[in-house]
Structure 1
């Protein structure tokens, strides 16, 4: 066999330039880029060295030959022409990977089958001995790439992909592959910083991939030093002595690197479930003396290696997995920017993000950006020098002012820092010393306009709310069409719902406006970002409010008209308290004394609580959802009402048809549409409201009152109902000032029996 080979190194998209530089340093000659790969020439020693030392490649392919392909038969003959006895024992095992198409071969499985057939036919013995197929751990892994009528036939020397270093057996929800993490570190300048003795900190470290890759670079450890199985182990062209020499040299370099004083490398992770998996990965990599991981929230992050040492803060914030998550992540990015400005002055920072628009919201400028791909997701690496002149704040200052502030911040930081990092006995960082005050990030023109509207509304509605003792109310409801949000106050919490933008609106513009508005909310309302909850409300009616959004299970108690009610701001689209029905609930409380009260489609039974508080003789509440009836039970219990409060689970229409009770006060607030598995058929409020009201009015005691409301914007009450009952629309009387801007939020009627 030849002493020189054509070598292909594959890599993730976007890493070609970095891999070209790395491979050239490792001995690859005449190297040049291709899409998701580089190619060049080298000897077997170079190929082994690339397998062992490449931090960026996925695979190292040794090219056996190139030949033209016109059809399936010429593919077969081209593979058959190779002397496979130089590469594989007839009794060995084989795996074939085929990529590309053309020349009448459009199915990769068919192409792989033709390659396999040629190799097997070449090696088949007279006694029937032939290679077997082993897709997991074959003796030889063959790769054929078909491109523009040419076949490139190669041996895969790597075996499993080189990004699988072997230390990361436990991983988080969305980890970066090891070679991508290494590429990010290289672009961020970590090799230079490490050579200067700098520190590294990751405030959202997950299971520690950045930390391990950084430590391996700093300690001069070959990334695949601990790999036990290679694609060349059973290859007949393998030269074990040459491989052992290279491996021993790498082992010596690693031992020397680990013998040096370790650099300060620290990770912090808010999720306690990831701490031990991260530590396990670090231990498997043999780097426990170099890397420490602690549980800690981003809001308290402060790297403190010693009084003077600086380094690199590196982070891969979450991208968001569910609709609306990306909006919620705005505050995480803002918090990250605040921590950089307050606790990392003089450091360098690298933020790897799949949401570059969010990266712009950190309140600090990046001096350089690089494009990457994380799988199919386009990403950006933002490189930042954490200096005051890079801060995007609310006030423009001269360079002299910025330099003076930088010096003052340095002095204050030095005075605040202890000589060594401080942690409690559980390994959690102690509360950091007070940091220099840093201005809030400057709002955009649109964000400032939105903030002004919020403050104007707060000034007007706040007076009314304090006067009336209203604790929960709507502050803003798409007052400005370009900022399509509903902003509700629940005590000192803010609940934000984003209305989905019309299809005619450019999604990027809609997103930018959303971020402008969300950035304005904490500043305008003077609330902590952690107390702002964000959701997205789709343009659809029905029982959307009943669909679960999360599972945090965090309830808080609020008061309304002297009643105590439980709300949940995180787990459902709605919170358990429809704010627009406040006047109706208070009316029910005033009218309930001595009456039997029926609440249909009761949801969390807030109206029932008001009826009980108003002195109702008994209450009956009906809903299909066990979850909400349990919530209703808790609401009633919270107010001391347990006796004479009947909760019924069932389809309201079927329940009414069977019930024989009489009620002096009835409240019905049905969904627009319902098709629950627990009910027969489908409920449609426009189609079915006549039947619903007829059934309910049959249960109304003489002299009783039924209140009917719904929020279907196009709803029309059937004219025939007025012929049978006393019908009075009371919509205008059931809206408080916080919903005066949106009079179509619901419509309501008062029904009575005719004398």
Structure 2
């Protein structure tokens, strides 16, 4: 009988070797699958023992001539379905693949379903029912350029689900991939040596390693699909199951797992107990940033290291990898390392020479398992004395230190809690560094095309290290926002959120900021003095804040005694944030209004009068109210004309934008009855004086 075994990309060769160990004949190896020939009972045994297959299917037939609906129907209609199930049983059809005639997999699946129903109706005058959730027989059809193949699901529920995990950590790894990593690590060549996972999470790697070393079956109690086939014999299966239960071996294993998260460690312990290997694994609470020797005798370090699946967390990761690289050289001489990550640049932070690498897929992610040999040469190979990639990075450190020194008196006198300390002062280190209390945000500007990506990544690593050192900030509290080209579906991926917020105070007003979960933090630092102007001039005024973002200028107006404050933004999230900022300051009044609207649309038809207006529009916007996309340079007169209609006599409009080289059209402005007073230098605080193009601002009044 012919079968196909499925697995993940990168595990195929291990699956081939496993199948050969069962004396199966290998017919064909393709990406993610292996076709083979074997006897029914032997394949049942394989399903209970396999470590690398995720699914096994029995081949019914394949045909090259399946090109359209008619040929697909005939192909399915003339199979001997009574050999596999009866009309009293239920079935379901899975279909994958398309061609020019068969473009919809759901439609193609219905064609096969109709063919099978017609087969039983003609032969037995009775039709089987469909059950998509728990069918007696699941039929799988795969359409390729070569034709169509029909399979019967032989194994049933996913073979990688061993049954010992009820909960898992944040970065789960499938059991069959964990087994592949154990195999590729080389530890199984000598299981008397210790195996250590410093980021063990829910313990999957160590549990799979123990199971492999003890020769335990993987899936004895699964509800296999083959049990519902006519060829299944319960007595023979029970005999085989009893035989496999008794085949485990006794071994003294030395398995150690540590993790910084105590909750996930408790999950790991429960998983190990359910897998029957708890006595062989020691779990301990330890931070991988502070590794010491796990055992006196050299062994293997095997770990699925953290990698960047959340926005802003790069500083924490770079610090972790750098610290681990130092610890491996200091405490792990003569050990073997097998480390998994999705980010090649993070591996470079370890500063270790790779011996070998294996590519895998962990779900949708491309991941790499790197093997390292911690021999004398590796241990003695020192990093730069300061741990930096470039000697020139010292210039960045010096500039950071110098800038901070120059701002200290201002920070102290004004009680500033959030400020910019560096803004691309050195062209090669093209980042901005902002401080928020005891935290920091590093924002990497888009690098010129001529700058090599690897060089840019290494410079950023140095920036992160030096920012932590010079500002005395824990890397855990440094958010890094990197502009990089996304691949494929990555641009649509939602990042994990840390939900870490903190409070900063500015001229007596408190604001909630979120440094890690969004590209912006909730507070535009360069508008600090613009907000101060609004606070100082808001008393008894009717204030309007357009394109309000998180309502920080609105909070200043209310704090300054405004009679009424209207806050308008298109984002529901930002408006909720604005309301939270008001609550934080105890600002409550029925005349404080928050309105969700497209500001351009709202302005075109706005009514009422406002004494003080803050207008900070985007440089560009695709508002539906504009014939073309809104451009602040081209369209600012039209915009200001709308605002003029609601600006009270004697009122003031503080107009700002951040378009470099913006020029206000004073003649056109005069033509609509407004005058403008350049005010940019009054809204640039000391931390932004180095970048006079950060924004432009004017005080605009009726002529």
TM-score by length of 1: 0.74
Alpha carbons of structure 1 residues 310 and 507: separation in structure 2 relative to 1, 3 Å: closer
Please name the residue that 2:183 is paired with.
186
- Tell me the distance in 1 between the aligned counterparts of 2:177 and 2:441: 37
Please name the residue that 1:380 is paired with.
368
Contact 2:54 2:159 in 1 (8 A): yes
- Tell me the distance in 2 between the aligned counterparts of 1:644 and 1:147: 66
Please name the residue that 1:401 is paired with.
none
- Tell me the distance in 2 between the aligned counterparts of 1:75 and 1:386: 57
SS in 1 for 2:18: helix
SS in 2 for 1:233: helix
Give the C-alpha shift of residue 483 in structure 1: 4.3
Please name the residue that 1:268 is paired with.
259
Is 1:729 matched up with 2:672?
no
Please name the residue that 1:552 is paired with.
499
Which residues of 2 match residues 179-578 of structure 1 at below 5 A? 179-193=176-190, 195-205=191-201, 207-227=202-222, 229-254=223-248, 256-257=249-250, 260-261=251-252, 263-268=254-259, 270=261, 272=263, 274=264, 278-291=268-281, 297-300=287-290, 304=294, 307-308=296-297, 310-320=299-309, 329-338=317-326, 340-341=328-329, 346-386=334-374, 389-390=377-378, 395=383, 442-445=387-390, 448-466=391-409, 469=412, 471=416, 472-481=418-427, 483-500=429-446, 514-515=460-461, 517-523=463-469, 525-536=471-482, 550=497, 552-558=499-505, 567-578=513-524
Please name the residue that 1:35 is paired with.
31
Give the C-alpha shift of residue 203 in structure 1: 1.2
SS in 2 for 1:253: coil
- Tell me the distance in 2 between the aligned counterparts of 1:531 and 1:711: 28
Contact 2:298 2:334 in 1 (8 A): no
Contact 1:67 1:150 in 2 (8 A): yes
Identify the range of structure 1 (54-63 vs 720-729) with the bigger mean alpha-carbon deviation: 720-729
SS in 2 for 1:179: helix
- Tell me the distance in 2 between the aligned counterparts of 1:753 and 1:96: 73
Give the C-alpha shift of residue 217 in structure 1: 1.5
Contact 1:600 1:667 in 2 (8 A): yes
Alpha carbons of structure 1 residues 612 and 28: separation in structure 2 relative to 1, 3 Å: closer
- Tell me the distance in 2 between the aligned counterparts of 1:133 and 1:643: 60
How many aligned positions are there? 671
- Tell me the distance in 2 between the aligned counterparts of 1:566 and 1:117: 60
Which one of 88, 93, 97 corresponds to residue 90 of structure 2?
Answer: 93
SS in 1 for 2:433: strand
- Tell me the distance in 2 between the aligned counterparts of 1:676 and 1:514: 33
Which one of 675, 689, 692 corresponds to residue 643 of structure 2?
Answer: 692
Contact 2:437 2:504 in 1 (8 A): no
Which one of 658, 661, 681 corresponds to residue 608 of structure 2?
Answer: 658
Structure 1 residues 28-50: Cα deviation after superposition (integer angstroms, max 9, x where no partner): 23565333222333333432232
TM-score by length of 2: 0.78
Contact 2:10 2:32 in 1 (8 A): yes
- Tell me the distance in 2 between the aligned counterparts of 1:627 and 1:74: 58
Please name the residue that 2:488 is paired with.
none
Structure 1 residues 99-136: Cα deviation after superposition (integer angstroms, max 9, x where no partner): 55679766655655565566556555866344443344
Alpha carbons of structure 1 residues 698 and 10: separation in structure 2 relative to 1, 3 Å: same
SS in 2 for 1:698: strand
Give the C-alpha shift of residue 233 in structure 1: 0.8
SS in 1 for 2:163: coil
Give the C-alpha shift of residue 494 in structure 1: 1.9
Contact 1:707 1:749 in 2 (8 A): yes
- Tell me the distance in 2 between the aligned counterparts of 1:556 and 1:103: 58
Which one of 594, 597, 604 corresponds to residue 649 of structure 1?
Answer: 594
Give the C-alpha shift of residue 721 in structure 1: 4.7
SS in 2 for 1:689: helix
For structure 2, the residue ranges without an aligned partner over 5 or more in a row are: 486-493, 569-573
CA RMSD after TM alignment: 4.7
Give the C-alpha shift of residue 719 in structure 1: 3.3
